[in-house]
Amino acid sequence: MAQLWGGRFTKETDKLVYNFNASISFDQKFYRQDIRGSIAHVTMLAASGILTDIERDQIIAGLNGILNDVENGSLQITSEYEDIHSFVEANLIDRIGDVGKKLHTGRSRNDQVALDMKLYVRDEIVELKKLIFKLMSTIHVLMKEHIDTYMPGFTHLQKAQPITLAHHLGAYMEMFKRDYDRMNDIYDRMNYCPLGSGALAGTTYPLDRELTASLLDFYGPTLNSMDSVADRDYCIELLSAMSTIMMHLSRFSEEIIIWNSNEYQFVELDDSYSTGSSIMPQKKNPDIAELVRGKTGRVYGALTSLLTTMKGIPLAYNKDMQEDKELTFDAIDTVKGCLALFTGMIATMTVNKPKMEASAKNGFTNATDAADYLVNHGVPFRDAHGIVGQLVLKCIDENISLDQLSLDEYKAICPVFEDDIYTAISMEECVQKRNTIGAPGHTAMQNVIDTNGNFLKWAEKDIINHNKE
């Protein structure tokens, strides 16, 4: 059992206890971050006169050798090591001898794991931003293609008013823009280096924590050593932000599932993003959308679990906090997979424009516009509301839409109506005259699309800047 402790122990750890305590099965995921942090640490130790330059170079060469061997598969991370830290240090000592034992000078596993976790989460935030960017870019293309694709807008899952598909997709674009911004918020708030905090009370060695922070592209060192090793707020914030992403994806998935149904036929999902039935040959199921919807609960569960784990922990570090890793790792992998698959699904789906427009017409989504027509001709709105309600009832009885009523039928209920009512309640007119900011009219939507284009240009540069760090 390769451990970094045991000097005051006289008995071997029980094997069951060792296995229960070990984290190598999951914290091996951040071996790159652990080695990167160690290289920065020994670089700082040498710059501070705690190690010689020769010792620094030996240790860094040994660490790079371990990294290369793990990457090319010639060195396996196995369960004989308690955690990734003991794996790296034990292999380093095997390779370079006693000088490898100086790696841990001025450092505790507490601030080391806090660093590794921060580096890993920070890297994954950048990857999540890339995937959100790809999804937004796909939605942006669809919005441009469907700026004049008419469809019903819904409230309570009831047809309400006519909108465009671009307008509907634009609502999700706003959600994912906020998700992208939340990733940046978390990145900025967490980007301070805990290394040098020791177990909880710093160290007597003259460490240059500002240098370590700079070497690892942090904004600076953390300011309280107890908080440094006890803080998992950034994991909770990320899990919360990812839960929100999944909530957005789940809502979108639900609508795709409805739109893809036989009753709606607004869209058809590509064969490559659908599955069939083992018994019903006619079936084409939206399994990707359903799985995204289902996996949302998995990410919610990770957030709730970590909040529950952290709520009763006194300062500073406690072993309970080891639970942060599996929860966060699994949630990150889940969200990344869902973002990638969902993006591919909507990029390849076929939109049925005639079905969408017919649904808007047949659902009386232009009823409000008929009432507005009367208001514009001097009828009080409350009276106009009642008049159009009578017209809708007549249409329901005759199984027709408002634009199929004759002018005589209109006039029989209200003599104010004239021939121009048909223009007023056309899908095109209903949508295109709504041009206030945020509305579905062509001019308003084009302004929003242009704004989104600028946001995407900024986001692309933002991601490039992160990749340079």
Give catalytic residue positions: 156, 277
CA-to-CA distance for 284 and 270, rounded, in angstroms? 10
Instruction: From 388, 373, 355, select the one nearest 423 (Cα to Cα).
Output: 373
3-state secondary structure of 81: strand
Instruction: From 176, 222, 233, select the one nearest 195 (Cα to Cα).
Output: 222
Tokens for 152, please give them.
Answer: 């019903």
| Residue 220 DSSP label | S
Q: Buried (b) or exposed (e) across 447-458, using 16+ Cβ within 10 A?
A: ebbeebeebbee
Q: At residue 460, what is the residue type? A: E
- H or E segment to which residue 358 belongs: helix 353-362
Task: Locate the DSSP E strands across 198-355.
Answer: 267-268, 350-351
202: region left, alpha or beta (phi > 0 left; psi from -120 to 50 alpha): left
Q: 162 has which bridge partners?
A: 152
Tokens for 354, please give them.
Answer: 């005639």
CA-to-CA distance for 259 and 355, rounded, in angstroms? 10
Alpha helices in 414-441 (DSSP H): 421-424, 427-432
Q: At residue 199, what is the residue type? A: A
Measured on CA atoms in the order 60, 66, 69, 72, is the torsion positive or negative? negative
Instruction: From 402, 404, 370, 401, select the one nearest 387 (Cα to Cα).
Output: 370
CA-to-CA distance for 322 and 122, rounded, in angstroms? 18
Q: At residue 336, what is the residue type? A: K
Locus of tokens 């050593």: 225
